[in-house]
Structure 1
Amino acid sequence: MSDLDPVALTAELVRCPSVTPEEGGTLDVLERVLSGAGFECTRVDRNGISNLFARWGRKGANRSFGFNGHTDVVPIGNPDDWSVDPFGAEIKDGFLWGRGSTDMKSGVAAFVAAAVDFVAETPPDGAVVLTITGDEEADATDGTVALLDWMADAGEQMTLCLVGEPTSPNHMGEAMKIGRRGSMTVQFEFTGVQGHSAYPHRANNPLTAMARLMDRLASHELDQGSDHFDPSSLAIVTMDTGNPATNVIPAQCRSSVNIRFSDLHSGESVGAWLRAESAKVQEETGIQVALNIRISGESFVTPPGELSDLIGAAVEAETGHRPEMSTSGGTSDARFMKDHCPVAEFGLVGKTMHQVDEKVPVADIVQLKAIYRRILNDYFA
């Protein structure tokens, strides 16, 4: 009989300084634990990024339940701002403290502990698959994407997947994610003619074009939302000239916007709108406008059904709360898993993730393991 302590495992992972893209020893810890429990483990490293695939059960099983998570963390910032050692995994006041304790080493520890106990105590007719990456907080090009590429080549498959990211705003069991908005960042460069500010007619001021275009974009209503999504949003995040002089009209200026879009749009359709608006301003002002569009994820939704029902029933049984189905927030690796199988997300309260003095209630880690274990029980029942 197994009874793997998810709190102790979380602490062991937090003590590994895995600031992205460093592995920091986290996957060595998990591989040791999972191999010892009978999981077949494969390191799927690519371009210096460390990833781990682990499967219990027969390859190609008709039913396989998967978990996905990451062990890389964001930088700690100024260590003097922390009241604890960021990698000390100190337990005090009912919390486990440290970078990655919330996002998302506790989630990984909880689903690893649940999976190890489950296969030891009630070996299922099917497979349990874990995909754990070290490249979620950075560019995410060689993490879950690399794992999915390897799985396709190796003939590995998940039937359903649960990503263990923090999902609840305030209390355990408050929300699950059944989709995510699309995300893109767009950089604009405006090129005009430099001149003296006392003789503006001899110059062509790119700031005028930038201000006009940014106002039009920010004032435009992309949509009013859809069945599962809030209205799309556009935020101006930078406007920069780099001009220290007050009597010079600069030749160039730059700006950037970040857009989170619903399932009423695609990256291609939003990009086409941005190019059309830029072309209008270019024609009106004579200022050259160049765009660089980077799409970090398309919008998607997993329709309510088997997976959301499994999660909702397990969460309600363990917490007394039926989680709301949400698509809010930023991006996660669910945007890659959606192309492999139905995917949803459920995890801890995310209040302190990425913050100084990041911490997680010890009781929540224990409860999260119980939820994941119940999901496995119910799926293979």
Structure 2
Amino acid sequence: MRRPARRPRSTNCCGIDRRVRNDTPDPVPLAQALIRCRSVTPADDGAMAVLEAVLAPLGFACHRLRFGEVENLFAVRGESGPHLMFAGHTDVVPPGDAGWTADPFGGEVRDGLLYGRGATDMKGGVAAWITALQDVLARRPDLPGTLSLLITGDEEGPAIDGTTKVLDWLVEQSKIPDCCVVGEPTSKVVLGDTIKVGRRGSLNATLTVHGTQGHSAYPQRADNPVHRLVRVLASLTAEPLDQGSEFFEPTTLQVTSFDVGNAATNVIPAMAVARLNIRFNDLHTEASLTAHLRAALEGEAPRHGLAISCSGESFLTQPGPFVAALQGAVRAETGQEPKLDTGGGTSDARFIARYCPVAELGAVGATMHQADESTPVAELRALARLYARVIEEIVG
């Protein structure tokens, strides 16, 4: 295929041509087609069929995996190593009731911006990766290695019937990848300024303190659970849990609810309940934090209950060849020196990290989950070119 003149070439450690490309296929039409699917979790509304229709002609074997109400897709091409997987999601949060100047499921392009729910998080990223595949495979149909995509419809929801169950299936099929790129919108100001190499864990706890109900005029005849719970929370929030670690910010503990369900002003209640959320770094685990909370309760409230829900442990992909390859691709394509970051909430990368090195690299996330969610068309096209570099850097 004849290619236009380019800037002087540079090569990576494998001798792959790293020239800046300006003829990458356009990801915008595919992103529009995905946005027009009203795939609010757990609905699919045809999104997986849109992807399968593009991937199958590229030689990908497409496996539609439905768990519960959730549609998932695993598509794979090749059988040799290395195996690079892209993980993403086509489900979106609801658009809300107000604030949109464009149809949230219209995929409108206006003034250089692509509007729609999922334009940033993360139908745009999925479209950019598949466009990158089209570009790379058109130029290098004999590309070695294995390429795959794990696309779920349950990332924005409970995350029960999505990535975790597909990963279980991949274990059964012996198709676990060597490394994985998650297309979450990780860039903060400009494309490529941030690569997320880890995420904090998230733990929710319900603390219940039992007392003895009584008249507030006769406190000696009662045991006030509110006072006990206040002291428990004061001890938990008095000092930070840590000062952070090499790649992580300090752990945070936030009390999110305090309730006694007491409508009377002269009655000491029999029970008090508090809820809290802990976003924790690699200095802690679910087990260690549970022990910390239980110790605080036992010190002030002999009669208590503790319920824990942990949506994921913290994880960290240590700098190495995989992370270096991503950094090199970002430098070559964008000129940015990407920061290795672990901030923000959680993502499905926390599940994939149990099996292989994983990092998140994607668009600027300034408008995700907002009214008038949008992404610049130029940035979406640049993201596709960046992903093409990543594919060649790792698989080529």
- Output the TM-score relative to the length of structure 1: 0.94
Residue identity opposite 2:339 in structure 1 = E
Alignment correspondent of 2:367 = 352
Residue identity opposite 1:273 in structure 2 = H
Alignment of 1:367-378 (within 5 A): 367-378=382-393
Alignment correspondent of 2:75 = 54
Alignment correspondent of 1:280 = 299
**Pairing 1:259–2:278 present:** yes
Change in 2 beyond 3 A, CA 1:169/1:246: farther
Q: Is the 8 A contact 1:160 1:307 kept in 2?
A: yes
Moved more, 211-220 or 156-165: 211-220
For residues 152-198 of structure 1, the C-alpha deviation after alignment (integer angstroms, 9 at most, x for no partner) is: 11121311110010112222111101111111111112222223333
**Pairing 1:336–2:355 present:** no
Residue identity opposite 1:211 in structure 2 = V
Structure 1: 5+ residue stretches without partners: none
Residue identity opposite 1:244 in structure 2 = A
Q: Is the 8 A contact 1:72 1:136 kept in 2?
A: yes
Paired residue secondary structure (1:316): helix
Change in 2 beyond 3 A, CA 1:209/1:29: same
Paired residue secondary structure (2:29): helix
Paired residue secondary structure (1:101): coil
**Pairing 1:315–2:330 present:** yes
Q: Is the 8 A contact 1:56 1:119 kept in 2?
A: no
Report deviation, 1:93.
2.3
Alignment of 1:156-175 (within 5 A): 156-175=175-194
Alignment correspondent of 1:22 = 43
Q: Is the 8 A contact 1:239 1:256 kept in 2?
A: yes
Report deviation, 1:137.
1.1
Aligned length: 374
Alignment of 1:194-233 (within 5 A): 194-233=213-252
Q: Find the aligned partners of 1:67 and 1:272 in 2 and give their Cα distance.
A: 36
Q: Find the aligned partners of 1:120 and 1:184 in 2 and give their Cα distance.
A: 45
Alignment correspondent of 1:147 = 166
Moved more, 342-351 or 93-102: 93-102
Alignment of 1:18-97 (within 5 A): 18-58=39-79, 61-78=80-97, 80-97=98-115
Q: Find the aligned partners of 1:30 and 1:173 in 2 and give their Cα distance.
A: 25
Change in 2 beyond 3 A, CA 1:315/1:209: same
Q: Find the aligned partners of 1:256 and 1:7 in 2 and give their Cα distance.
A: 43
Q: Comparing both structures, which one devotes a greater share of its residues to helix?
A: 1
- Output the TM-score relative to the length of structure 2: 0.91
Q: Find the aligned partners of 2:214 and 2:367 in 1 and give their Cα distance.
A: 49
For residues 271-312 of structure 1, the C-alpha deviation after alignment (integer angstroms, 9 at most, x for no partner) is: 1111111111114xxxx3211101111111111011211111
**Pairing 1:179–2:198 present:** yes
Q: Is the 8 A contact 2:329 2:390 kept in 1?
A: yes
Paired residue secondary structure (2:81): coil
**Pairing 1:10–2:10 present:** no
Paired residue secondary structure (1:68): strand
Identity of aligned residues (%): 48
Paired residue secondary structure (1:369): helix
Paired residue secondary structure (1:347): coil
Change in 2 beyond 3 A, CA 1:4/1:245: farther
Report deviation, 1:201.
2.8
Alignment correspondent of 1:248 = 267
Paired residue secondary structure (2:151): strand
Q: Find the aligned partners of 2:229 and 2:103 in 1 and give their Cα distance.
A: 45
Structure 2: 5+ residue stretches without partners: 2-22
Residue identity opposite 1:43 in structure 2 = R
RMSD: 1.6
Q: Find the aligned partners of 1:219 and 1:115 in 2 and give their Cα distance.
A: 52
